[in-house]
Structure 1
Amino acid sequence: MPVPDTVIEKIRSGAKDAWPEDKEMQTYTVKEELDAYRNFVALDYSGVSDEEKESLIQEAKESFDSWEERFSSIQDELEAIIGLKELSSRNHGSELFSQWLLEAQAENENYFQGQLEYLQNKVSSCEAIQRTRAEIDPLKNILIDIENIIGSECYNGNIQNYGSWGELESEGRSFRYPVKFYDGENEYKQKTVPRDIPAEQLISGYYPFGANELNIYRALHKVLKYLEAEHGLKLPKT
């Protein structure tokens, strides 16, 4: 594919500026840039509209000086556009996905790789939540009941109990150890775990011990699955 003289001259000039004392690197840079220009011109835009094509080319030329960077940038964006269309097709009719798409476009305007990554993360998280709910929902009440038994068996012998007149009546006290959960944005503490807590939050529950943590609900789930596999425990499936 012939390269315009103006492009060749600009490439040579750029190579001389970048490597003024190194003829070998100048030659190498010119060859690489000429190949990149040919690849740039030969890019396949069949999967995008003319408007998207012009936008991609303009953005690449404004953002990068070398043809290699321009070519790589547009190639990645074209792949992202195809990925976006495939992902949108698989989630056609989903109001939630449509909402995510608008968010992705707002946060990554004219940056299709960013939009695709945003949507892939959202879809992946949603699928993980669905898998968690399918696994945990049937066991939710059992897990909550067992954890409540364990959490209620805490005792602190250093606690001093005083009567209404300020007299020491006894030492030591049993108490319900609190559980911490994560709701996707913040952690919160519960002493009484509600039955309607979402499964993905329930399984995040842990006991904080200073700098240490005991993932109590994950541990209990593993215990139940162990008893099912090794000792024939019958667990609810729905």
Structure 2
Amino acid sequence: MADKIPPEIFLEIRRVASAEWPDSPEMQQYMVDAEATAYRKLAKLDFGGALEQKAAILKEAHEYYQSWQDIVSFVSEEVDAFNTLAAFAPEDVPVGFVTEQKRKARVEHDWFASQLEDVQQAVEAYRYVQRTRAKVGPIRDLLVRMESIIGSECYNANIQNYSAWGVWEGEGRAFRYPVTYIRNGQEEKRKARTDDLEPEALITCHYKFGANELSIHRALVRIIDMLRNDYDLKIPGDEDRA
């Protein structure tokens, strides 16, 4: 059992197992076997391109974890993340963008797994923006006009109308329902202007109904897609989509 494992490490494994399971020799043996297997796995682990990071990765592992099973799991994940991150260069994303995201991730996180997650999320966000711009950009004017028509058809019969002289002029009033956009993670309420909104912000247009929301522009995109697919609707610029 203790072959290729330093005696002091094997003795510590047995000590911890005895402390964890003082009344169960079977569980002690199970824990010793599992920890010994984990140690051997760590000793044989191929760091590949992460070899220069070996000391730093092992240091982090021992600072945060006690068992060899946890340590080898963490180290394996970090080695895989480092090597994946080093080779990460998707063809559909500009090299400069990916390089900058890697730099930001290094500043933000010490662990390579966290760096990789940040970079992958940034790339997915970039792809989402590109897809949204390709889909929404050509029909943005149509979306804005359609939403304006819908939003202007609101009516409240309970509104009491009075003239400037305080004379009651009747009940009920039509009004333009307010719209909300999300830009740079912040909500913006607007009445009319949309020309400064990128498609990825434009598509977030929604109506608020108390705790509920209606994503009006997303709904209109689905309607346009339905009309295109089911009724052969042609919109100027569709030729470029073919």
TM-score by shorter chain over 0.5: yes
Opposite residue 53 of structure 1, the aligned amino acid is K
Residue type at the aligned position of 1:101: K
TM-score by length of 2: 0.91
Question: What is the TM-score with the length of structure 1 in the denominator?
Answer: 0.92
Gaps of 5+ in 1: none
Q: Matched residue of 1:233: which SS? A: coil
Partner of 1:204: 204
User: 1:13 maps to what in 2?
Assistant: 15
One-letter code of the match for 2:134? A
In the TM superposition, 1:72-91 aligns within 5 A as 72-88=73-89
Task: Show the 5 A alignment for 1:1-238.
Answer: 2-50=4-52, 52-88=53-89, 94-109=95-110, 111-235=111-235, 236-237=237-238
Q: Which runs of 5+ in 2 are unaligned?
A: none
- Name the SS for the 1:65 alignment partner: coil
Cα RMSD for the two superposed structures: 1.8
Structure 1 Cα separation of the partners of residues 90 and 50 of structure 2: 15
Residues 92 and 202 of structure 1, relative CA distance in 2, 3 Å threshold: closer
> Helix, strand or coil: the match of 2:5?
coil
Q: Go from structure 1 to structure 2 and tell me whether the alpha carbon gap of 1:14 and 1:72 turns closer, same or farther (over 3 Å shift).
A: same
Query: Alpha-carbon deviations, 1:210-235, whole Å to 9, x = none?
Result: 22222111111111111111111102
Deviations 1:76-122 (A, max 9, x none): 0001001111225758963333332222112212x011111111111
Q: What percentage of residue pairs aligned between the two structures are identical?
A: 38
Task: Measure the CA separation in 1 of the matches of 2:197 and 2:61.
Answer: 48
Offset of 1:143 from its aligned partner? 0.7
User: For residue 74 of structure 1, what is the amino acid of its counterpart?
Assistant: V
CA contact (8 A) 2:61 2:71 kept: yes
| Preserved contact between residue 182 and residue 188 of structure 1 (Cα < 8 Å) | yes
Cα distance per residue 1:182-204 (max 9 Å; x no partner): 12411111110413421111111
Task: State the distance in 2 between where 1:92 and 1:217 align.
Answer: 27
Contact persistence 2:179–2:205 (CA under 8 A): yes
How far apart are residue 23 of structure 1 and its match? 0.5
Q: Does structure 2 retain, via aligned residues, the 8 Å contact 1:157–1:173?
A: yes
